[in-house]
Amino acid sequence: MKNSNALVTIAEPCTQNWEEMDQKDGFNFCQACNKCVVDFTGYSNADIIKTLANASSEVCGRLTETQLNQLNYHLVVAPANRNWMKYIGVLAIGVSIFTQNVNASVLTEKPETQIVEKLRSYADEKKPITIKKISGRILDANKKPLTGIRVVILNTRYYASTDKNGHYEIKFTSGITKENKILAVQSARFSANMTLNYAVEKQVDLLLKMEPMIVGEIMYVPRKGN
């Protein structure tokens, strides 16, 4: 297999405290380096690459180890001549194909009556789910509410984002089976999941632990192929 043509790395992580930097809109200002540090934790891979491509000088940023690993994984398809904009187009096409596949799977879903029959095939799950929705809260390690966190029920189309109080609510507009009971957090900053209790609407609070962060100058390093 051909090696990736590039590597995005933070060679020398910054030791400055992010929380103690002057906070701005979308970035912090580091007094020690006299530079703006972009908060990439809410950016997609394509957005990060676009920012690097359009930058006229070095870019200092903050992102998670997961983001950095994902970014380099996707760079396997990047061209050797650093044609960033073409790569962004590749990412967009990939998203489009994924969306089409999701829509196709939605069209081929079984009717709700057949879902109930499927439930009856399990001895311990003879009764269909009677609740019409679930709700709960997403909190940080200090039990403070987290806003804008996306949660999904795995293997379904159901998802929600938390409000300013860390509250989410998911309504079962098309029914659901007891097999699909894992609620997962989709976030670059956090990683967690929990098993839902379909006997009640109100779910237990889910506490999230922040992913390890890396702060520093983000560099593009060309790599040779085989």
Q: For residue 94, what pLDDT band results from cuts at 50, 70 and 90?
A: very low
> Are 89 and 133 within one domain?
no
What is the arithmetic mean of pLDDT over 164-170? 96
Q: Is residue 107 part of a domain?
A: no
- 73 in the same domain as 150: no
User: What range defines the domain where residue 155 resides?
Assistant: 113-207
Query: What is the pLDDT at residue 87?
Result: 53
Please state the domain count of the chain.
2
Does residue 145 belong to any structural domain of this protein? yes
Identify whether 102 is part of a domain: no
Claim to verify: residue 185 and residue 119 sit in the same structural domain: yes
91 shares a domain with 125? no
| CB 90 within 8 Å of CB 77 | yes
Q: Does residue 124 share a domain with residue 45?
A: no
Residue range 168-216, pLDDT digits in tens: 999 999 999 999 999 999 876 777 889 999 999 999 999 987 777 788 8
Give the per-residue pLDDT at 5: 57
115 falls in which pLDDT band (50, 70, 90)? very low
Confidence label for 40 from pLDDT (cuts 50, 70 and 90): confident
Decide: 134 and 169 in contact? Cβ < 8 Å.
Answer: yes
Threshold 0.85, pTM exceeds:
no
Tell me if 203 sits within 8 A of 196, measured CB to CB: yes
- Split at pLDDT 50, 70, 90, the class of 145 is very high
202 DSSP β-pair partners: 135
For residues 87 and 124, membership in a common domain is answered with no
Q: Is residue 106 part of a domain?
A: no
Distance CA 66, CA 72 (A): 10
Whether 160 is covered by a domain: the verdict is yes
Is there a single domain that holds both residue 81 and residue 159? no
In a domain, 1, yes or no: no
* Average pLDDT taken over every residue of the chain: 75
pLDDT at 114 over 60: no
| pLDDT in the model for residue 95 | 40
> Token pair 């908060």 is at which residue?
39
pLDDT of 149 over the 60 cut: yes
CATH of residue 194's domain is 2.60.40.4130
Start-end of H helices in the chain: 45-54, 65-74, 84-107, 112-119
98 vs 70, more confident: 70
Residue 33 bridge partners (DSSP): none
Buried b (16+ CB within 10 A) or exposed e, 5-33: bbebbbeeebebeeeebeeeeebbebeee
3 state SS of 204: coil
Say if 41 falls within a structural domain. yes
Residue 164's SS3 state is coil
The rounded distance, in Å, linking the Cα atoms of 5 and 100 is 29
Give helix 45-54 / helix 65-74 axis angle, nearest 10°. Answer: 80
Determine how many CB atoms are found less than 10 A away from the CB of residue 51: 16
Tell me: do 128 and 194 sit in the same domain. Answer: yes
Give yes or no: residues 194 and 217 share one domain: no
35 close to 55: Cβ distance less than 8 angstroms? no
